[in-house]
Amino acid sequence: MRSLSRRRLLLDGAALSALASFGWRPSMARAAQGERKFLFFYAGGAWDPAAVFDPHHGSDGVDHQQDSYTRELGALRHTANDLEMEAVGRFFTRWGNRAAIVNGIDAHTVGHDTGMQMTMTGTSADNYPDWPTVLASKGRGEYPLPHVVFGGPSYGGHLSGAVVRAGGGTLLDLIDGSIVGTADRPAPRLAEPSERVLDAYVYDRVAKFSGKHAVRPGLTRQRTSAMLDNFDRTVEIEGRRFEAGLGALENSMLDQAIKATELMRLGLSRTAMVSIPGGWDTHGGNDPQELQFNDFFEALDSLMEHLASTPGTSAPFMIDEVVIVALSEFGRTPKFNGSMGKDHWPYNSSLVIGSGVRGGRSLGATDGALVGRKVDFRTGLASDTGEVLGSEHVGAALLKLGGVNPADILPGVQSFDALLRDSAR
């Protein structure tokens, strides 16, 4: 392995002794202990909140699909349909105590592009990073692949260096470096003699950086340590692709989600984005919403089983380390249109599951016409003295859940603390 042989060369003999003399030790990339990881799912095109998350059966102002009904599991309510959405009911029966549904979220728009940006960043201003990018770049751990985007939206903003795109099955190529040979302008591959010359040059430079005659020992130590740490990461990522069994997985939504959580388990990534397949922009007939939701929750059920049986790094199992967030850019109208479809609507719902989440309940509120109501940000319940919940408030809570101060990202935006298990009392 090219990187491994160079690594051994660098750590051999005089160079290793010189580095050790001023305290350098190799440091593998590691996730910070206890730091939550985040897996985002995104349904592009805008899902119908009433189809699952925000039932209003009995209200003349909201249309539902035939044979659906409201199902209550304690403080959590969802739309059920035993014929078309069996997987939805099964998921909430098994995992509802870990899940929070957030209703009545104002997306502030009914345009796809602006809705996507508002949902993911909390602002329409340019150059703002999205929630997963902020979480990945502001974490305490060192992540070689901080935020991996398999599909769906990505707003890197001024933190775009934290974003790694892995769509189209390129993840393994990114990990082993072979992608450089398949790019638009492939990097040249050196012959073995040239490799040996390059290795000797690197060895010589490291020895000079770390030697007793170095002109600026402080800078020398920094540069040498950084160089060797990068080699550490290369070797670790290359080796751990096999440990994770990534080569055995396909490219379905569930496969991508498992790949993402394996990268998190190995300390290689903190966040990931996976696209939820399907045609969610259902102007011409709303029937696909139920089928697509059922497929999503079936995959989500399998993912939760995987997390519940996979050992974690700071908790017994990964289910207590990972937060799952499912989003869409806005909602759909409460009433069917002339084609039995539903059009764009600003009020939306999201699903948040896992570590640190105040689960087992529906938070936020809409009225009988699916318009967002004012809510108390501490309890999550409707309140005339509260505020209308916006996508920016939900995002601020996600940042807080990940140990990031929302005020550093969106000053003046209040966090929807009802979502947080430790904040809501």
Q: What is the pLDDT of residues 338-371, one digit of tens each?
A: 999 999 999 999 999 999 999 999 999 999 999 9
Per-residue confidence (pLDDT) for residue 16, from 0 to 100: 42
Q: In what order do the strands lie in the sheet with 163-165?
A: 163-165, 147-149, 271-275, 37-43, 322-328, 347-354, 99-106, 361-364
Q: So what's the pLDDT on residue 94? A: 98
From the DSSP assignment, how many helices (H) and strands (E) are in the chain? Answer: 12, 14
Element (H, E) at 285: none
Side-chain half-sphere CA neighbours of 316 within 13 A:
2
- CA nearest neighbour of 403 among 122, 102, 32: 32
pLDDT score, position 210: 59
User: How far apart (Å, rounded) are the C-alpha atoms in residues 249 and 259?
Assistant: 8
Correct CATH for 37-180+250-419 of 3.30.410, 3.30.1130, 3.40.50, 3.40.720: 3.40.720
Burial class (CB in 10 A: 0-12, 13-18, 19+), 226: exposed
164 in Cβ contact with 147 (< 8 Å): yes
The structure tokens listed for 24 are: 């350098």
pLDDT value at residue 31: 57
Q: Which residues of the chain have pLDDT under 50?
A: 1-29, 425
Beta strands 374-375 and 387-388, pairing class: antiparallel
Instruction: Read off the pTM.
Output: 0.83
Query: What per-residue confidence (pLDDT) applies to 143?
Result: 87
- What pLDDT, on the 0 to 100 scale, is given for residue 211? 58
Spatial separation of the C-alpha atoms in residues 282 and 111, rounded to whole Å: 14
Domain with CATH 3.40.720 in the chain: 37-180+250-419
